[in-house]
Structure 1
Amino acid sequence: MKIVTGGQTGVDLAAWQYALDNGIAYGGWVPKGRLNEAGRIPERFKGLTETQSEDVAVRTKRNVQACDALLVFVDGVTSPGTQLTIDFAKEIGKPFLVVDLRRGGGVCADQINSWIMSHPATMVNIAGPRESEAPGIGAQVTSVLQQVRFPIDTNS
């Protein structure tokens, strides 16, 4: 199991931190210079691959292409980047799940756990709004992910 994101604040960094804290492999394509809206992506996140472009759409598309499935968190705000990610998944034909955090953490975790069982994947792209678009979304995602049962290979 590996979690990939593009390194933006909010959902992306929360997913990487969750992976780091729980011994789950993580990575992903990030913009040239390792930049997100807060500046440089923290150095504690290792093994990231920079694109040749600072355009976030380039890393978004590469992460969707690389993953087996896409897990998207939303909370009712309009996020052009999140919509672009979903559009790429539809275009490429990747399975995806959109989870609305307004439904509550337990409901969201149950929805994700059911989806994981029916869509086995070894590389999941976790995406959603940046923190400036949805203040507090990183903490909400962390809370939900702590209730999710990702398959982890204990033989590695």
Structure 2
Amino acid sequence: MGVEKGFKEEERLVGEGGQVGEGDEGFSGLYQGLLTKRLQSGIMLKKIISGCQTGADIAGIDAAISYDFPYGGWVPKGRRTEAGPLPEKYQVQEMPTAGYPKRTEQNVIDSDGTVIFVRGKLSGGSDLTRKLAEKHKKPWLHLDMLENTVDGATDILLAWLDEMGVEVLNVAGRSASKDGQIYAVVFQVISLALQKLHPTV
């Protein structure tokens, strides 16, 4: 099971593996009161990390930077991305190897939980991220952005962060070459989450 600690009342929304899709429409209204109470007294997110690939990964980091929020993560040797070397402005750590899987695994290990953004089902690198989270017994959440609005996905993410006790969040998902629209969606969700969790950032 991807989510090691689940919501007992929310099994129809957050099922086995933490995948979120059908049935999410009523989440915001149904759990908004509970979420508000949690945000007033719950654990606060302290850092966002990712592998800094184009698309979902770098969107999470860019959102953190835009709010002057702590960020980091591991990238392949040579700061490799599908768009060329990652610009030096990003303060992250390089792996000793140039492959993507090892850096994916290290980011899973160094985080308290991983959110995986795709539009549709998990596959390729996104599904590898899930498998690595399961291997290391780390909670993970798949947000299908074909089934969720930005506001709805943000509420689901915040409730999951609090329930799982996540302080270091690993942001993963589709690359820009696989989905040209995923960057904008992830940037919006992470930005909105930071606004709600840390209104003073």
TM over 0.5: yes
AA partner of residue 6 (structure 1): G
1:117 lines up with 2:162 in the alignment: yes
Correspondence 1:6 to 2:51: yes
Match of 2:185 among 133, 137, 140: 140
Task: Look at both structures and tell me which one has the larger radius of gyration over its CA atoms.
Answer: 2
Equivalent in 55, 70, 89 of residue 25 of structure 1: 70
1:51 correspondence with 2:95: yes
Specify whether residues 27 and 80 from structure 1 end up closer, same or farther in structure 2 by C-alpha distance, changes over 3 A only. Answer: same
Partner of 1:76: 120
Q: 2-side partners of 1:135 and 1:24: how far apart?
A: 25
Q: Distance in 1 between matches of 2:122 and 2:176?
A: 12
Runs of 4+ in 1 over 2 A off after TM superposition: 149-152
Aligned to 2:20: none
The structure richer in strand per residue is 1
The one-letter amino acid of 1:109's match is T
Q: Distance in 2 between the 1:92 and 1:29 partners?
A: 17
Task: Verify the 8 A CA contact 2:52 2:75 in the aligned structure 1.
Answer: yes
User: What letter corresponds to residue 85 of structure 1 in structure 2?
Assistant: T
Tell me the residue number matched to 1:85: 129
Root-mean-square deviation over aligned CA pairs: 1.6
Percent of aligned pairs with the same residue? 34
Question: Are 1:105 and 1:143, in contact at CA under 8 Å, matched by a contact in 2?
Answer: yes
Shift of 1:106: 1.4
Q: Does the CA contact (< 8 Å) of 2:121 and 2:144 recur in 1?
A: no
Task: Note the residue ranges of structure 1 that are not aligned, 5 or more in a row.
Answer: none
| Alpha-carbon distance in structure 1 between the residues aligned to 2:191 and 2:70 | 16
Query: Is the Cα–Cα contact under 8 Å of residues 82 and 128 in structure 1 kept in the other structure?
Result: yes
The amino acid of 2:158's aligned partner reads N
Unaligned runs of 5+ in 2: 1-45
Q: CA deviation at 1:121?
A: 1.7
TM-score under structure 2 normalisation? 0.72
TM (normalized to structure 1)? 0.91
Alignment match, 2:82: 37
1:98 maps onto 2:169 in alignment: no
